[in-house]
Amino acid sequence: MKSEYLCTVKSFRMLTPTVFEIAFETDKNLVFEGGQFVSIIIPGAGPKGRDLRRAYSIASAPEARPYELCVKLVENGPGTQYLYRLRPHDTFRVLAPYGDFTYRPQTDQHICFIATGTGIAPFRAIAMSKKFQDNLPNSAICLFGVRTESELLYQKPEEGFQNLKLMNAVSQPSDSWQGFRGRVTHYLQSLGDEYPWLKTQFYLCGNGEMIQEVKAFLAEKNIEKSKIHQEKYY
């Protein structure tokens, strides 16, 4: 059931030049599943001074405290500008938990997570959750798309992705980038015929364009719709 929580900021730090992490505690235990999100109340930022709400996936494991969010700073965005100003001991309010973009264990299946930008957040929460670790799929990969390599998040295994292979796709890399060059959709296509397409569950999170492109490609591959799960950020 959804409740309102009063959150107190424990720490604030920049993860990349434009993405920041807020760690927080709540006034009562917030029980959630990896992949779910909170709806943050932005006081007075709406029309006629009304409150606004913005959704943010919880980026930390359900079992971990403090809770963590990973937020992309959007120029002139009321939600992200509000969060960007928060510092330790400040408080904010959320309604939670929301969403059904959660891991559905099927240990005979493979898992392919596909994220762009901060769309990696729910996959981190899932990958670090007890539910995932106790019900590991046949194999798991996470394709992670960003524009430049400075936007990559959670690259060290101990930052959350020990149990699966994080595969980065950088669409506008510097000359020195050694990894995959191109969009995450191209990376997916490049997996080729050896990939167990028909025995895989696909989870997509991030911008709408990526989600549309990936779904069109998966339709060409005759993947059943029931095997495609999505969370569209914008």
Ligand X SMILES: Cc1cc2nc3c(=O)[nH]c(=O)nc-3n(C[C@H](O)[C@H](O)[C@H](O)COP(=O)(O)OP(=O)(O)OC[C@H]3O[C@@H](n4cnc5c(N)ncnc54)[C@H](O)[C@@H]3O)c2cc1C
Q: Are residues 8 and 86 in contact, defined by beta-carbon separation less than 8 angstroms? A: no
Question: Which 114-133 positions form the footprint of ligand X (CB under 6 A)?
Answer: 117-118, 121
Q: What is the C-alpha to C-alpha distance for residues 133 and 75, in angstroms, rounded to an integer? A: 37
Nearer to ligand X, 67 or 202 (CB): 67
Does residue number 212 form part of the binding site for ligand X (CB under 6 A)?
no
Nearer to ligand X, 54 or 110 (CB): 54
Closer residue to ligand X in complex, CB, 72/110 = 72
Cβ proximity to ligand X, 53 vs 65, nearer residue: 53
Q: Which is nearer to ligand X, 82 or 197 (CB)?
A: 82
Secondary structure class of 188 (helix, strand, coil): helix
Question: What is the nearest approach in angstroms of ligand X to the Cβ of residue 54?
Answer: 4
Q: Which stretch binds ligand X (CB under 6 A): 48-56, 137-145, 146-154, 158-166?
A: 48-56
Let me know: does 205 contact 122? Beta carbons within 8 Å.
yes
Closest CA to 179 of 192, 165, 193: 165
Rg (CA), the chain: 18
Please tell me the distance from the alpha carbon of residue 221 to that of residue 164, in angstroms, as a whole number.
23
Q: Which of 20, 24, 32, 56 binds ligand X (CB under 6 A)?
A: 56
Q: Does 80 bind ligand X (CB under 6 A)?
A: yes
6, 18 Cβ separation under 8 angstroms: no
Per the CB < 8 A criterion, the answer to whether 211 and 204 are in contact is yes
Residue nearer to ligand X on the CB measure, 73 or 191? 73
Distances in Å between the alpha carbon of 148 and those of 56, 145, 186, 205, 206? Answer: 23, 9, 16, 18, 16
Closest CA to 23 of 84, 88, 74, 117: 88
Could you identify the residue written with the tokens 């900021």? 9
Residue span 86-105 as binding mask against ligand X, x where in contact by CB under 6 A, dash where not: -------------x------
Is residue 54 a contact residue for ligand X (CB under 6 A)?
yes
Part of the chain binding ligand X (CB under 6 A), chosen from 26-34, 71-79, 154-162, 170-178 = 71-79
Q: Is residue 71 involved in binding ligand X (CB under 6 A)?
A: yes
74 lines the binding site for ligand X (CB under 6 A): yes
Q: Which of 25, 41, 64, 77 binds ligand X (CB under 6 A)?
A: 77
Query: What are the angstrom distances between the C-alpha of 208 and each of 30, 51, 186, 220?
Result: 29, 26, 16, 19
The residue with its CB nearest to ligand X is 77
Q: Footprint of ligand X on this chain (CB under 6 A)?
A: 37, 54-57, 69-72, 74, 77-80, 99, 117-118, 121, 231, 233-234
